[in-house]
Amino acid sequence: MATAVPAERDAVAGAFAEPAREVRLPGVTLHCPDAAYDLLAAGVGPALAAASVSAALTAAALDGTPYGLVVSAGIAGGFPPEAPVGSLVVADEITAADLGAESPQSPGGFLPVTELGFGTVTHRPPKSLVREVSAATGARTGAVLTVSTVTGTAARAAVLRARHPGALAEAMEGFGVAEAAAAHGTPVLEIRAVSNPVGPRDRAAWRIGEALAALTAAFGKLAPVLESWNPHDHHE
């Protein structure tokens, strides 16, 4: 389970009974609260998150104990009114919202990198897992956008919503985590607790404590879902 910062990792760890054991690996430090889960504070932004998760996946594979699932977790901005502060969102798609080129001639003034002939901009978590996580935690289901720049104006929020009508939240790591997972053929999930509305920047109004508490509560309910979900028998 990969968060951006240690405060988010510790919020996830708060759902486990035992204190986490620390394991230092090349390029990444894991916190292991339980034999079944490793937590890491993978860093802020898609590039560092991808590098850290890739290091953990490679170490596990070389050890002969590959991961069955990668979870991107943390706080996020929520698009009002669907994703209010304190609510939970589970991604049915993880989309890189600013990976592409500005293009005045194109609809919306933007071309995703796929239309330039490269790579991908969206990863889709397993539908059955998204459904089960939503049912267990009460998380709303929708697209979670990955951005490299936190939205700070109503105009930018409106542009994102127009391009991605199904978007419920934006954060900064999901797509990087998903790219690393995809490179290892490992399924990915993204779950976010909303700390602030996406819109005009007002950092003082972020409800980080409330969102971290929601994250701890969500992971308390997730363990049975994750333990019973079998990547080998899910049907899309």
Ligand X SMILES: O=C(O)c1cccc(C(=O)CC[C@H]2O[C@@H](n3cnc4c(=O)[nH]cnc43)[C@H](O)[C@@H]2O)c1
Question: Interface with ligand X by CB under 6 A: which residues?
Answer: 4-5, 7-8, 44, 74-77, 147, 150-151, 170-173, 195-196, 198, 208
Rounded to a whole number of angstroms, the minimum distance from the CB of residue 64 to ligand X is 32
Other C-beta atoms closer than 10 Å to the C-beta of 204 total: 5
CA trace torsion 221, 72, 45, 83 (10° rounding): -50
User: Residue 197 and residue 77: Cα distance in Å, rounded?
Assistant: 5
Toward ligand X, which CB reaches closer, 34 or 210? 210
Integer angstrom CA distances of residue 54 from 23, 163, 164, 181, 183: 16, 29, 28, 7, 8
Rounded to a whole number of angstroms, the minimum distance from the CB of residue 42 to ligand X is 10
Toward ligand X, which CB reaches closer, 95 or 229? 95
Rounded to a whole number of angstroms, the minimum distance from the CB of residue 46 to ligand X is 9
For residue 162, with 0-12 CB atoms within 10 Å meaning exposed, 13-18 middle and 19 or more buried, which class applies?
A: exposed
Rounded to a whole number of angstroms, the minimum distance from the CB of residue 157 to ligand X is 9
Toward ligand X, which CB reaches closer, 25 or 208? 208
Strand, helix or coil for residue 184: coil
Rounded to a whole number of angstroms, the minimum distance from the CB of residue 192 to ligand X is 8
Q: Tokens 């996406």, residue?
A: 198
Toward ligand X, which CB reaches closer, 49 or 132? 49
Report the residue number whose CB is nearest to ligand X: 77
Toward ligand X, which CB reaches closer, 133 or 211? 211
